Chains A and B, each alone.
Chain A
Amino acid sequence: MKINIPVRQLVLYVLLCLGAVGAFILFGHNISKVLSDIVIGGNPPGAADVMWMAGFFALSALLTFLYRVVSRRTANARIERLGQKVLGKIDDRTVKYSESMMNAVFVHLEKYRPFEKVFIPTIIQTLVRLCTIIIAMFFIHRAAAFIMLFTAPFVPLYYVLVGLRTADESKDRATQFDALGTLFLNLIRGKNTVRDTQSGQTVAERLRAFNERYVKDTMAILKYAFQSTLMLEFITILGIGLIALEVGLEIIIFESITFYAAFFTLLLAPEFYNALKVLGIEFHNGKLAQGHLEVIEEWLEKEGGETDYRLIGTDGNAVELKNISIGHNTTTLLAQTDLKVPSAGFTAITGPSGIGKTTLLRTILGLHRPEEGEVWVRSDDIGYISDQVYFSDTTIYDYVSEGNYEEAEVSAILDELGMTKSINNLDEGIHTRIVNHSIPLSGGEIVRLKMARVLIRRPGIILMDEPTEFLDARTEQLVMDHLEKLKQDAAIIAVVHRRQLLKIADRHYTLSDGRIVPQEGGH
């Protein structure tokens, strides 16, 4: 398990921990002195000693508090940056994996957080404690220090021999638990099908059986996992017991130890062994959290959020594709082909489905990097009317204007597209809210709304996927008239599915065999 942490930070962490454990040892020194006075000397406790005792304990608590706050803030900031990087990987393909992306941000990032927040600081803190206590022990009571040195390696050794296996098994358990959880969530999400098929009883029975089997399996595995904790506990007890025995023998038989040293030793010994135990348990937690980091890293390794590959500023033509090859993973859609689109007019593109028409549009838009060749556009102010539509929570006015146009301008463009009547029918007119993607308009009206949003900006280049919606003849004529007017001073490149639209095309290309082939039939 590698821990990535800048050196400066590591030094700060170590210093804070050293301060805290140092203060604790000084607390131990003073309390041992006070008790020695009381028990052996039979005197009242010295006020100064008690003050120092309380002071050092408070200092230790304060430094620990500071360490926690600083290390957790740092961790939260690191998680935030990781989150930003993941969000930076979102592009127009992410929608296919949206659930996985949402899970990365909301589940895996959160489950990885404890690794940064708890695991790393705890490991540093524990190591510092172990070293400091053992060094202090050499000055307080050397024999106890040797016992610590001798018994401590058993914990990591035990982990290497037995613990690793249980760690793996615990991971399996976690995965299995996740699988059961996912099935449950699937069933809740898919309850309509359960209802439709009236299989509620059967499915509930299965869910119950799954859970029973899961509890049985898990408890078997947990027995192993907890056994390893039990062993750690035994090692700890053995160590503390050995030290107690040694101290007891020294007091009675050899009479070679002071009360001060004896109490101090017995105060520090559990601190030492508890730290060892924590190390063992955290090791296990760290492993689990790292599984989540792996999922996040899968996203980080993906390409995406890249910079624009297009070259801007042609002399005259709206779009020029030079010697371009386009593909998805292993399949090649276009191979070393060219296309020049003049600054005005309607260019139709046809071809069978799946041949790469939409990908070609996406390449011009800057969304799909070509494998080779150059993409030139006159300007990057391009309007795109896709055949898919997604309405975020918005209003008709906000959707069309994007906050850049006045109400009157929006109404004017909607009027040009013959939508005034249906908009006026809505309760709140153009301020009608579109919630949850449900919009009180017909398919043909939605198509026109999408067009209005692009047309209001009057871009010099318009790309469109022909809407596959049913438009009635009147609407269709209206849309075509509008496009015909528009093509006078804009370049329209459209993927066309029906002959009707070819009537207004000035040029017509078909994609076939990886090439863009000009067709007769353009006017």
Chain B
Amino acid sequence: MGYLTGERKQVFYSILLGLAGGLVGVALFGLSGYMISLSFFEPPFFVIILIIAVIKLFGMMKGAFRYIERLLSHEATFQMIGRLRLNYFRKSLALDEDTHSARFIQRLNQHFDRVEDYYIRIIYPYITAALLTLILIMLAGYINIESVLLMTGASLLLLFAVPKLFERLNHEEAGRREETDSTFYMKLYHYIHDYTDLFVTKRAKSHKVKLDGYLSRIRHSEDRQDLFDSLMVLAANIIQIAVLTLIIFTMYREIPMLVPMVMLLALSYFDQVIPVMQPASRYRSVKDAVGELDAEDTTRDPATEASEGIGRIYIKGLRYKYRGTAADVLKDVTAVFDAGQKHALIGSSGSGKTTLLNSIIEGGGSVHLYGGDGETAGTIRQDASIMPQHLDFYNATVEDNITMFGHMDVSPETIRHHLETLEMAYYAPETMITHTGRLSGGEEKRLHFIRMMVENRKWWIMDEPTARLDDRLKQKIWDRVMAQDTVIVSTHDLSRLDEFDQIHYMEEGRIIESGNYSSLMVRGGAVYEAVMRYADKL
């Protein structure tokens, strides 16, 4: 319930209305039962008419209550989800977790699906049913003590014992299912990405059979869940008939007139309570999901960044190791990047170029920034436009994507001009990017490049700016990059290497050669060899 603090008003009214609707619904049935008993004992005619009128009125009221209550409960849920999302987004900005993993996103999505159920289908119907039960137990006091006991016993079984019993089973099953889903997800991902190799080595078929095995595990898991649900309804039905039989035996002697009423009342009560049981038995699994999303509020302000005017980045003895791996990706890297110079990082893939760029961006103990008055704390972000290895886009308009939802101030005309220059005039600033996955690699590069030009901070730090572009576009990008004073670029494309002021060659996590183009050519080391190889291209 703590998750719904912001929606107190809606929650309160929706429960109130739900309860009223439930009561009226039960009363409706009770009244019609009372009516027929009464009718056979020749009451005044108007009494019957009055009862029928009340039944109708109750019916209408029930419908109207339900209508308003559904609106309120949905509004509460949507607002809750909106708030959870916002908090989660703010929180994730402060975390270093890699959110690019497909499985991470898929899990998050599942969690939010469950949260959608949390209030509408679990919390709220349960509270309403419990309150309805309490009121009916009190009313049963007017009949006799046996019916109070009967009602209490039945409702304890229905609302507490049975769901609790199945909750454990469901929770275990949900845990197993989660595990199956996770493994299946990874295996399928590997299968898709490794398919060519599997096909060529004639292993695709056997791998497909293994994947089918996961599908059948999912089927068995669903079968079990369904069996639990069905068993729960069966148990509830058995309790129901036991209660009905007991009502007859406890009441027929003293108050036979009321038996049909109580009977219909009980039937209607069970109709309202049984549907609550199944969602209630899922409470634990869903609560886990909500809990994972709604950890405590984090500080609103991001860590302070170094101010503008960074003149030098000095990296000293930098080591870097990915979590869970034994070997260092960067081994004792020392380098100086001065403002006003263009730096190139080259070397084979896996040599640590991207990791080095990321270390520069993220900062840390080995990365020292110097401004006008000595070393400053924080990171370079305030002073840099960055093109990371993995480019991010959002399903919003091209303009929102480029300006980061209006964070950068630029006219649509300027954006249109950039789009034209980079041969993407088929996009207008107001074009919606509905499926970010449909952007080609080259389109992503160019759109992000426009983002950088619009932002245009002093340092440009770029990972492979020309990859996946054709030669003409490559040169256009290089022309613009070279017009910049201060850049750090990691690249495989050596066509403009001679225009850089400083070239660093990386191999196995070390910078093994640094210098300007002409001195490195004279030296005839790794950079020279790479340039020769590049020139050998057909």
Contacts and interface: CB of A to CB of B under 8 A. Distances in A.
Interface in A194-241: 194-200, 202-204, 206-208, 211-212, 214-215, 218-219, 222-223, 226-227, 229-230, 233-234, 236-238, 240-241
Contacts of B89: 184, 187-188, 191, 203-204, 207
A497 interface: yes
A80 B263 CA distance: 44
Given A61-B234, A241-B52, A190 B196 contact: no
Interface in B315-340: 322, 324-327
Contacts of A215: 75, 78-79, 82
Contact of A39 (B74, B260, B381): B260
A314 B42 CA distance: 102
B241 interface: yes
B233 A98 contact: no
Contact of B256 (A42, A253, A266): A42
A435 B89 CA distance: 28
Residues of A contacting B: mostly: helix
B294 to A, nearest CB: 15
Contact of A262 (B36, B393, B451): B36
A183 B93 contact: no
Contacts, number: 389
A193 B530 contact: no
A148 B496 CA distance: 84
Contacts of B305: 198
A473 B529 contact: yes
A488 interface: no
Contacts of B350: 439, 441-443, 446
Interface string B373-396: 000000001101010101111111
A237 B259 contact: no
A192 interface: yes
B86 A211 contact: yes
A392 interface: yes
Contacts of A159: none
B406 A206 contact: yes
Interface stretch (B121-129, B140-148, B214-222, B283-291): B214-222
B307 interface: no
B392 A392 contact: no
B56 A237 contact: yes
Given A102-B106, A191-B93, A65 B200 contact: no
Interface stretch (A30-38, A122-130, A333-341): A30-38
A398 to B, nearest CB: 12
B300 to A, nearest CB: 9
A196 B388 contact: yes
B188 A105 contact: yes
A412 interface: no
A64 B233 CA distance: 9
Interface in A30-59: 31, 34-35, 38-40, 42, 44-45, 50, 53-54, 57-58
Nearest to B253: A44
Contacts of B507: 442
B223 A73 contact: yes
Given A252-B45, A266-B33, A393-B186, A98 B82 contact: no
Contacts of A390: 190, 193-194, 197
Range of interface residues on B (Cβ < 8 Å): 35 or more
Interface stretch (B131-139, B224-232, B422-430, B478-486): B224-232
Contacts of A106: 106, 181, 185
B152 interface: no
A470 B530 contact: yes
Interface string A107-140: 1000001000100000000000000000000000
Contact of B249 (A45, A202, A226): A45
A161 interface: no
B199 A69 contact: no
B106 to A, nearest CB: 6
Nearest to B251: A38
A298 interface: no
Interface stretch (B97-105, B161-169, B411-419): B97-105
Most chain-A Cβ atoms within 10 A of its Cβ — which of B45, B59, B185?
B59
B453 interface: no
Given A90-B192, A106-B185, A384-B197, A192 B392 contact: yes
B519 interface: no
B185 A80 contact: no
A227 B67 contact: yes
Interface in A260-316: 262-263, 266-267, 270, 274
A10 interface: no
Contacts of A497: 537-538
B189 A234 contact: no
B431 interface: no
A396 B84 CA distance: 43
Contacts of B295: none
Contact of A230 (B67, B244, B361): B67
Residue of B52, B199, B324, B405 with most partner-chain A CB within 10 A:
B405
Nearest to B392: A190
B226 A68 contact: yes
Contact of A190 (B63, B245, B394): B394
A202 B408 CA distance: 10
Contacts of A11: none
Determine which residue in A91, A179, A187 has the highest number of CB atoms from chain B within 10 A of its CB, and name it.
Answer: A187
A496 B538 CA distance: 8
Contact of B85 (A184, A227, A446): A184
A499 B536 contact: yes
Residue picked from B64, B82, B202, B305, most chain A C-beta under 10 Å: B82
Given A80-B216, A367-B196, A244 B234 contact: no
Interface in A49-102: 50, 53-54, 57-58, 61-62, 64-65, 68-69, 72-73, 76-77, 79-80, 83-84, 87-88, 90-92, 94-95, 97-102
Nearest to A470: B348
A39 to B, nearest CB: 5
Contact of B215 (A84, A100, A384): A84
Nearest to A351: B538
Interface in B448-462: 451, 455
B501 interface: no
Contact of A98 (B55, B192, B248, B249): B192
Nearest to A348: B538
A207 B396 CA distance: 11
A197 B186 CA distance: 32
Interface centre among A215, A223, A229 (most CB of B within 10 A): A215
B226 A202 contact: no
A60 B42 CA distance: 36
B325 A440 contact: yes
A167 interface: no
A62 B240 CA distance: 13
12 contacts: A35-B260, A64-B233, A76-B226, A90-B208, A105-B188, A189-B99, A214-B78, A230-B66, A237-B56, A244-B55, A248-B49, A270-B29
The 4 closest A-B pairs by CB, nearest first: A190-B392, A443-B348, A237-B59, A211-B82
Interface of B: 29, 32-33, 35-37, 39-40, 42, 45, 48-49, 51-52, 55-56, 59-60, 62-64, 66-67, 70-71, 74-75, 78-79, 81-82, 85-86, 88-90, 92-93, 99-100, 102, 105-106, 108-109, 112, 181, 185-186, 188-197, 199-203, 208, 211-212, 215-216, 218-219, 222-223, 226-227, 229-231, 233-234, 237-238, 240-242, 244-245, 248-249, 252-253, 256-257, 259-260, 263-264, 267-268, 271, 302, 305, 322, 324-327, 347-351, 361, 381-382, 384, 386, 388, 390-396, 400, 404-408, 434, 436-437, 451, 455, 492, 507-508, 526, 529-530, 533, 536-538
Given A179-B395, A230-B64, A367-B199, 15 more contacts: A45-B249, A64-B237, A84-B212, A192-B99, A197-B408, A207-B86, A215-B78, A241-B59, A248-B52, A259-B36, A365-B196, A386-B196, A390-B190, A390-B194, A469-B349
